[in-house]
Amino acid sequence: MKFNKVCVLGLGYIGLPTACEFATHGVQVLGVDINPAVISTLKNGGLHIHEPGLRALVQTAVKTKNLVVAEKPEPADAFIIAVPTPFLETKHGDFKGKDFKLADMAAVEAATTSILPVIRRGNLVVLESTSPPRTSLELVAPILERSGLKAGVDFHLVYSPERVLPGQILKELVENARVIGGVTQASAKAGKALYSIFVKGDIFMTDATTAEMVKLMENTYRDVNIAIANEFTRLADRFGVDIWEAINLANRHPRVKILNPGPGVGGHCISVDPWFLVQGAPDLARLIHQSRQVNDEQPHFVLELVRKSLGKLKGKTIAALGLSYKPNVDDLRESPAIEVVRLLQRTGARVKVFEPFKPDAVLDGVSLFPDLKSTLKDVDAILLLVAHDQLCSLTPKRIAALTDCRVLIDTVNGWKGSTWTKAGFNLFKLGSNS
């Protein structure tokens, strides 16, 4: 197939970089987002998300006039759906007698429906949004077939998941291997032709449901491995062991690689995707379900560490450093750091938050401060929640110059060694039985 025009629905962390890659490779791209603020920001030369190198790429795409943004799709050769798939909370016993989080497919349904007026025979439709198995066949295809065209016969339908890491999206979009799952072999070949425009990594073709499961398996694998690290942390606390030393020693084994524990698991992928497998087969996904529960409970373990460090929390003021779900990015989606802050607030503590990558973030009921100086003023404890380089590189001298507080609580092993205790600080660390 020849792709002269591509329509990308959803201009977030994946959709916008993808649209720009096509545009800078000579394809006419219409970027669509239902959020008027996003469209307005992009039209005025701004950027609504932070990703290294993205601003320059967007500017190049716009300058060539290959990227145009709008609130509604138009006829194109290919349509790429890259909208969010968050989860819905369920109460205990609402789903086969267990606590579950179910996939919220409303955005996928809406985006797919919006294509109906403009889809034409011979088009290619790609779903990139992370989805439960069989979404392409049982949700997307039936909606598109309301047009009178049949998936895999009159138009091509593909599932191709993004597999990139925030902070390295532009590099990995191009260099990572790509999985193309078609509802037919011909659809898979059409999808491969599309992504071959800019992808340098290997492109593998399979069926749509396999591609959907591959994406979920990748993130579930990570979630399960983080869960065992977090559980080891709780055991270390019980037995009086420093978990960081124990992990370092255990990883000396040539076939062992225990991941780092922390305040929990966040982001739009690892903390969400495993639930899609649990939802699809709750009788089989027992280990996956348990791992999700372990990781979702980790912020409560952090709360107990703060209690050990400060005693009664009501009336105390705590400086929380870092709010994103992982180091050195501005992505706050499903961040366990936010959950820790809210748990502390429920105890009656006042929490002052500093997020260096998103100092202007607005969260209901959360007090964000623009810099370290204002954050650390008049606090009873300093809580390190995210291992941002600029936070981990803080020194006792720097902290002492900003505050009289000498109680430090480190949940990510960012402050190492005896330097802090020698400087007169009380350092409490997650998993070290402080």
Q: Tens of pLDDT along 41-63?
A: 999 889 998 889 999 999 999 99
Q: Is residue 264 within 8 Å of 336, Cβ to Cβ?
A: yes
CATH superfamily of domain region 242-429: NAD(P)-binding Rossmann-like Domain (3.40.50.720)
The tally of CA atoms less than 13 A away on the side-chain side of residue 83 is 21
Mean pLDDT calculated for residue range 29-41: 96
Q: Are strands 156-159 and 178-182 parallel, antiparallel or unpaired?
A: antiparallel
CATH code linked to domain 5-207: 3.40.50.720
* CA-based end-to-end distance of the chain: 62
Q: Tens of pLDDT along 350-378?
A: 999 999 998 888 888 898 999 999 999 99
Burial of 363 (0-12, 13-18, 19+ CB in 10 A): middle
Judged against a pLDDT cut of 70, whether residue 90 lies above it is answered with no
Mean pLDDT calculated for residue range 227-235: 96
Judged against a pLDDT cut of 70, whether residue 25 lies above it is answered with yes
Q: Tens of pLDDT along 116-133?
A: 999 999 999 999 999 999
The rounded percent of the chain whose pLDDT value lies above 90 is 83
Mean pLDDT of the chain: 93
Question: Which residues does the annotation mark as catalytic?
Answer: 215, 269
Lowest mean pLDDT among 148-157, 277-286, 309-318: 277-286
* Ranges in the chain annotated CATH 3.40.50.720: 5-207, 242-429
Please give the Cα distance from 80 to 367 (Å, whole number): 38
CA neighbor of 8 nearest in space, from 144, 154, 167, 115: 115
Question: Which pLDDT score is estimated for 71?
Answer: 96
Mean pLDDT calculated for residue range 160-176: 92
